[in-house]
Structure 1
């Protein structure tokens, strides 16, 4: 199936084409229509099969860039995955003017606080740092419409269940 057949906006299709994607992978073909329809989705696929785009494109499609509030949240198990996901979502959402911010441990929290004041549409981060920001009242989740638990099995194996439940 081609991406142009997935009912994505022209801005996202432009970003997808710029990234060199033409054909949706099986995980994308299976999940994107369901997520666009507002369904809850649990997906599992090997590394390198386009899982970030599989959850990211529907999330980006649903974001209203004129709404200056947090609308999407992606929880990832590691800082490396959070950074990688933030970069991919930024790249795909650039034409829609969607702001994406990553928050994770091991980085300057003061800088992250300043960046969160710029009102990103999507925040990607690790459970511990997200909880830190929630407790500091620098991350408020009341307007979040889409939640993604990226590599949920890995987060459970790492003992993040309690943190995820708190978030």
Structure 2
């Protein structure tokens, strides 16, 4: 496994070893011990989620506040997405900054987004299967979000030649300046 820190050091790109031949491939998609050693973290994962979306579907930007803050280890098993993390940790040197990574069924990359970050993605391919492990259970009372197109954050979403499709909830998320954030 290869781990690369992004410009926001706590967010990491993980590239598992892929063993392929004429029959296909094998990849160990997760190993708790190796994940902890390679990332220098001590998180346990408690829930796995799977979504399927079509091209132009944008999900996010979501996060959960303490005591139910979630870290997410995300990957794509079919298709391609452009995945984004936004630092919501007030007092952090990267507060309000974002980082993104393209995740595809062929590159097998995973994106580690620790607690304290908002997360979202847009589907680049005709369809995409998106899987993610979380470090805390879903807790509606702690569920929060920010507007995907907030001008203060300035995420440069890819131009797909189609309008993004968002849920009602995601169309109504507050601006970053009005959102609840993680205390310093």
| Larger Rg computed on CA atoms | 2
Higher relative contact order (CA 8 A, sep 6+): 2
TM-score, normalising length from structure 1?
A: 0.32
TM-score, with structure 2 as normaliser: 0.30
The structure with the greater share of residues assigned to helix is: 1
